[in-house]
Homo-oligomer: A and B are copies of this chain.
Amino acid sequence: MTLLLSNDDAHHLLTMPDCMAALEESYRATYEAIAINGRRSDMVGPGGDADSAYVLKMMGAILPQQKVGAIRLNSDLFRWVTRGERKQRIKVPAAPGERWVGLVLLFSTETGEPLAIFPDGVVQRARVGATSGIALDRLARQDATSLAMLGSGWQAEAQILAAASARRLARIRCYSPNAERCREFAARMATQTSVPADAATSPEAAVRGADIVLCATNSLGYVFLEGWCEPGQHLGTIRDRELDPGAIARANCVIVHDRDNLTGQHVELAKGAVFQEKAKELGLDPRTAHLVGAPSLDELVGGAAPGRQRDTDITCFLNYHGVGLQFAAIGALLHRKARAAGAGRDLPTEWFTEDVHS
C-alpha cells in the first residue's frame, strides 16, 4: 500500500533532533557521492496578469542507505505585492479550499514502488530548519547563548527550534514589522523552547549583541545590514537577499547549502513580458555571484571545508535552494515513523503503478 500522510501526521511524528540526524546522514552521503541529488528545475510561466507567475518546481534524489528515492514538487501561483514599504512575493492559495500545492513522493529503490505521498509543508519547514541547525552546530561559537530571529513566520519557528537543538540558548530576541504578531511569536517560542524570548522594536535592536542571527522573512529587501555585524557572530539566512551582500563579505567563513543552483541555471522562463522581470527575483543577486565557489554544507559535514577558526570569526550559512535529498532523508524518517505509529491512510499501490512499460 502507498501511505498518504498529512501535514498533521508529519507535525506529530517529526522532531527537530531526528530531522537533523537524518539530514546529517544525507549530507555525509552526498559528500561521499553515495547519495545523489538530481538536477532541480524551476519552471516559470505566465500567471494570468502582469504581477503574477505560475511556477512549477521539481527536485529529486536517491538516498541508497535508506533505500529511498524522492521527488518533491510545487505548483504555485506567485503574486508580487507591496506592503507598506516592502516588496513581497506572495504564494497565492489558489487551489480549491484556498490551499497550496506542494507534494513529496517517496519511492523504494528495491521495488520502485511509491511508498508514501505527503504534502511538503511540514517536511519543508523541518528540512530548512534542520539544515540551518546542522550548519549552526558546526559554525556558531560553542558558547553562543543569544539568538536574534528576524522574521516571525512559519519558517522562523523551525529556525529557532533548530538553533535551540544545537546550542544551550539563554535568550531569544525576535523582530518582525508587525509588532503584535512578533510578540505573540516570541511568547509561543518561549513556551516551545523554554528559553526566554522577547520582541525587539527594530531589527537593529534585535541583533545587537546576539551570538547568532537568523533571518527567515519573505521580504525582498535586505533585513540584516553590513553595519550590524559583530565579531564572533554566526549569521544564517534561508533566502537570497535577506543578508546585505556587505554582511556576507564581512564573514570569515561562508558556507552555501548547495552550489549547483546558485547561479539560477535551474530556472527556466517562458516568454512573456512583465512576469519575466519579476521572475528574475527568483535568481541570484549578481553581487553574491562569487559565492558559486564557496564550500557547501556537505563539504562542511564531510570535513573538507573548514568552519570557524577563531572565536572572533564571523561565520555565515546561506541556506538557499532546497535539494531533493532533504526530502528523501526526512521522507524516509517520516515513512518509518508513520508505519510504526499506524498513521496515515493506505491507498492502493496499483493506483500509482502499471502493468505496461515503455
> Which residues of A are interface residues toward B (Cβ below 8 A)?
4, 7, 32-48, 54, 56, 58, 60-62, 64, 69, 71, 73, 75-77, 91, 93-103, 105, 107-114, 117, 119-122, 124-125, 128, 154-155, 266, 268-271, 349-358
Q: Is the CB of A356 within 8 A of B100?
A: yes
Residue of B with least CB distance to A124: B358
Question: What's the Cα separation between A58 and B4 when bound, in Å?
Answer: 21
Question: What's the Cα separation between A154 and B354 when bound, in Å?
Answer: 14
Q: Is the CB of B58 within 8 A of A95?
A: no
Number of copies: 2
Q: Is the CB of B39 within 8 A of A60?
A: no
A101-B353, A271-B34, A353-B100 known; A112+B75 contact, CB < 8 A: yes
Q: Is the CB of A61 within 8 A of B36?
A: no
A34-B271, A94-B112, A270-B64 known; A101+B354 contact, CB < 8 A: yes
A-B contact pairs, 20 of them (CB 8 A): A38-B41, A39-B40, A41-B41, A43-B61, A47-B109, A54-B69, A54-B110, A56-B61, A56-B71, A95-B353, A96-B350, A98-B355, A99-B113, A100-B355, A101-B107, A103-B105, A119-B356, A121-B358, A154-B356, A155-B358
Residues of B within 8 A of A35 (CB): 270
Residues of B within 8 A of A269 (CB): 36
Q: Is the CB of B71 within 8 A of A62?
A: no
Q: Is the CB of A4 within 8 A of B121?
A: no
Choose one: B36, B77, B350; the contact of A43 (CB below 8 Å). B36
